[in-house]
Amino acid sequence: MFKKSSPASVATAMAHPNIAFIKYWGNRDDELRLPANGSISMNLEGLTTRTTVRFDPKLKNDTLILNKKLQGGNALQRVSAFMDIVRQKANLKLFAEIVTENNFPAGSGLASSAAAFAALSLAATKAAGLNLSRQELSALARRGSGSACRSIPAGFVEWLPGSEDEDSYAISIAPPNHWELVDCIAVVETDHKSVGSTEGHRLAATSPIQAARVEDAPRRLDICRRAILQKDFDTLAQIVELDSNLMHAVMMTSSPPLFYWNPLSIDLMKRVQSWRNEGLPVCYTLDAGPNVHILCLNEALSELKFRLHQIPAIEQILICRPGGPATLLE
Amino acid sequence: MFKKSSPASVATAMAHPNIAFIKYWGNRDDELRLPANGSISMNLEGLTTRTTVRFDPKLKNDTLILNKKLQGGNALQRVSAFMDIVRQKANLKLFAEIVTENNFPAGSGLASSAAAFAALSLAATKAAGLNLSRQELSALARRGSGSACRSIPAGFVEWLPGSEDEDSYAISIAPPNHWELVDCIAVVETDHKSVGSTEGHRLAATSPIQAARVEDAPRRLDICRRAILQKDFDTLAQIVELDSNLMHAVMMTSSPPLFYWNPLSIDLMKRVQSWRNEGLPVCYTLDAGPNVHILCLNEALSELKFRLHQIPAIEQILICRPGGPATLLE
């Protein structure tokens, strides 16, 4: 498709978004995206970002084509700032053409920036002739979007917060086939969200309860990690819902407050709780958007889908099993 | 109506419920209902509980008639335990007949227990021949229901948390006519709430963010008190919404979690925020129930009512101006 101007000047990679079980919200360092607390997530198979990076001596700027549309403004600026980090690492002066495509709606809490910067990290470093370890790749992806570091390793992933640029990266704590967990995403709104995560992270510290949320994080991480390793759904369900509620509690008590829930989100959260009380192995979690991620055991999936299809206000239901790592394609 | 068996053996009092601007949630001492933090509220004129207490040597137990229905179980037990405190103070051995009536729906976050125990404190002590000061009455009412102490003084009220039974009571910080503030209550559900406040207060400490909420309370109390005294609606609006969100954040992150909001509550909260952004002086606050209390300046009332009447899902709208103190009627 592309003419190679020099060896390895072009590369294509893919990555999945991830859903956080223990959330990332707020940074100790906004510039380096060093998180206030560790987090745990699962990659989402089926949702994919595919990105090609081509360095070209003829280009006078980076160009970004997202879902076949040429981008400018903030989107280009953010990607270009990230490419500067790659260029610095590779001691490279060339600009690049970046062509990226998602098979899922952007900007509705589906963590499109996580998959985007994971795929970009892999494609860009390869195209620049760098050969980074998974941990170095993860730390690099973090610079583009914090949660992107979790879309580098496979399956169930923990982001070790670290204390500086090099030691803040994510590792796999269990492979995708470890546990037949399914994320059933009830898409409630496909509109672009009003306040993006990068801006939201900056507001976290204005909430009077963010420090307490962060201080309690190691306890929640321990419970969640153990629940995954032991495949203990009920324990996972309780800690995942608590952690989601805690993050949204911080969001809606920051200045200005951020409300990502809408009426249908609340309706679904309450239904999921009552379904679990009836014995169905399901729990909810929400990222920075109104869509409700309903985690379930595979054995409950058909019953869950049946119940969700009876709620006409849900725009779309996406079914995601544990996904693999970011992968080089060409 | 009643035959007096001895001087002052019967008395009738009335009190209003109150809406908290800075919330009471969680106790340092559950038995004495010493609160984890101070709170500020406004009495609600128009909503009234009227209670008659008659001590009668012929009675073998206390009897409680609420809205013309004889009560047993928990309701009677709670009132009877409260009457024991009054009997002890008065050195009295007689049981009483308590007849009480509300002109508003019970158990839907309209703080019916606050008005109930405020009216009962005044009627019962008077009927028992006691003559308590306002502060003593407020501390006594607290023993029945924490927020009842705030329905004893007039208008805008602050509950000083204190450190023991005697010094934990509420005082008036401004009379009812100080400020033309209106509480427009959007009744969203008149069903009895699933988890009562007394039980909820016990769960507060299980939330990882309750300690931070309590620690930050003096700051919020200062801002709210000053906003009331200076009639600064915009400052009041921001601190009232923050404080409501903080309490509900603690509720939904306790174990088990308590969710008092329903989809219509969220819908109204978002509308109120956007109306204020447009310039209408309104803000929301929710007690332990789904009903949305919309505070507004009197000048905005007709516009607010017009907008609320266009939302068919709202069951009822109650309009309350700042109310007077608990008052003896006969």
Nearest-10 Cα torsion for B106, B107, B112, B114: 170
**Count of C-beta atoms within a 10 Å radius of residue B71:** 17
| A-interface mutation test, from B209, B210, B268, B286, most A Cβ less than 10 A away | B209
- Report residue A111 as tokens: 């963590």
DSSP-based three-state secondary structure for A193: coil
For chain A, domains (ranges, CATH) are: 3-177 (3.30.230.10), 179-320 (3.30.70.890)
Q: Which residues of A touch B211 (CB under 8 A)?
A: 212
Q: Which residues of B touch A215 (CB under 8 A)?
A: 208
* Contact state of A270 with B262 under an 8 Å Cβ cutoff: yes
* Contact state of B263 with A266 under an 8 Å Cβ cutoff: yes
Q: Which residues of A touch B262 (CB under 8 A)?
A: 266-267, 270
* Contact state of A242 with B262 under an 8 Å Cβ cutoff: no
* Contact state of A267 with B263 under an 8 Å Cβ cutoff: yes
Q: Comparing C-alpha atoms, which of B189, B187, B143 is closest to residue B162?
A: B143
Q: Is A266 on the interface with B (CB under 8 A)?
A: yes
Q: Is B261 on the interface with A (CB under 8 A)?
A: yes
Q: Report whether pLDDT(A252) > 90.
A: yes
How far A328 CA lies from chain B's nearest CA (Å)?
41
What are the tens digits of pLDDT across the range B168-209?
A: 999 999 999 999 999 999 998 766 556 778 888 999 999 999
* Contact state of B245 with A255 under an 8 Å Cβ cutoff: no
Checking DSSP bridges between strand B27-29 and strand B34-35, what pairing results, if any? antiparallel
Q: Is B206 on the interface with A (CB under 8 A)?
A: no
Contact B60, B184 (CB under 8 A): no
Q: Nearest 5°: phi and psi at A317?
A: -125, 125
What are the tens digits of pLDDT across the range A33-60?
A: 999 999 999 999 999 999 999 999 999 9
pLDDT of residue A199: 86
* Contact state of A209 with B246 under an 8 Å Cβ cutoff: yes
Q: Report whether pLDDT(B108) > 80.
A: no
Checking DSSP bridges between strand A49-56 and strand A63-66, what pairing results, if any? unpaired
Tell me which chain A residue has its CA closest to the CA of residue B267: A263
Q: Which residues of B touch A268 (CB under 8 A)?
A: none
Q: Comparing C-alpha atoms, which of A218, A220, A215 is closest to residue A235?
A: A220
Average pLDDT taken over every residue of chain A: 93
How far A313 CA lies from chain B's nearest CA (Å)?
13
For B88-91, which contacts have Cβ atoms below 8 Å and span 24 or more sequence positions?
Answer: B89/B125, B89/B128, B89/B130, B89/B140, B90/B125, B90/B128, B90/B129, B90/B130
Give dist(CA A94, CA B262) in Å, integer. Answer: 54
Give dist(CA A62, CA A124) in Å, integer. Answer: 12
How far B209 CA lies from chain A's nearest CA (Å)?
6
* Contact state of B273 with A264 under an 8 Å Cβ cutoff: no
The whole-number average pLDDT for the span B153-180 is 97
pLDDT of residue B105: 67
| A-interface mutation test, from B25, B189, B219, B245, most A Cβ less than 10 A away | B245
Contact A15, A152 (CB under 8 A): yes
pLDDT of residue A180: 97
Contact B282, B237 (CB under 8 A): yes
How far B282 CA lies from chain A's nearest CA (Å)?
16
- Report residue A138 as tokens: 């993860």
User: Is pTM, for the whole model, over 0.80?
Assistant: yes
Q: Is A270 on the interface with B (CB under 8 A)?
A: yes
pLDDT of residue B106: 60
- Report residue B132 as tokens: 């308590």
Count of CB pairs separated by less than 8 Å, A with B = 79
What are the tens digits of pLDDT across the range A317-330?
A: 999 999 999 999 96
The whole-number average pLDDT for the span A93-112 is 81
Q: Is A211 on the interface with B (CB under 8 A)?
A: yes
pLDDT of residue A197: 82
* Contact state of A242 with B257 under an 8 Å Cβ cutoff: yes
Q: Comparing C-alpha atoms, which of B74, B4, B14, B36 is closest to residue B201?
A: B36
The whole-number average pLDDT for the span B272-298 is 96
The whole-number average pLDDT for the span A218-244 is 98
pLDDT of residue A148: 97
Higher pLDDT, A196 or A65: A65
Q: Comparing C-alpha atoms, which of A248, A249, A260, A211 is closest to residue A36?
A: A211
Q: At CA A140, angle to CA A135 and CA A145, rounded to 5?
A: 120
Residue A253 is given by DSSP the state T
Contact B150, B39 (CB under 8 A): yes
* Contact state of A242 with B261 under an 8 Å Cβ cutoff: no
**Count of C-beta atoms within a 10 Å radius of residue A217:** 22
Q: Which residues of A touch B246 (CB under 8 A)?
A: 208-209, 253
* Contact state of B208 with A212 under an 8 Å Cβ cutoff: yes
What are the tens digits of pLDDT across the range A110-153?
A: 668 999 999 999 999 999 999 999 999 999 999 999 999 999 99
pLDDT of residue B213: 98
- Angstrom distances, CA of residue B309 to CA of A127, A143, B187, B303, B318: 61, 49, 12, 10, 12
pLDDT of residue A111: 61
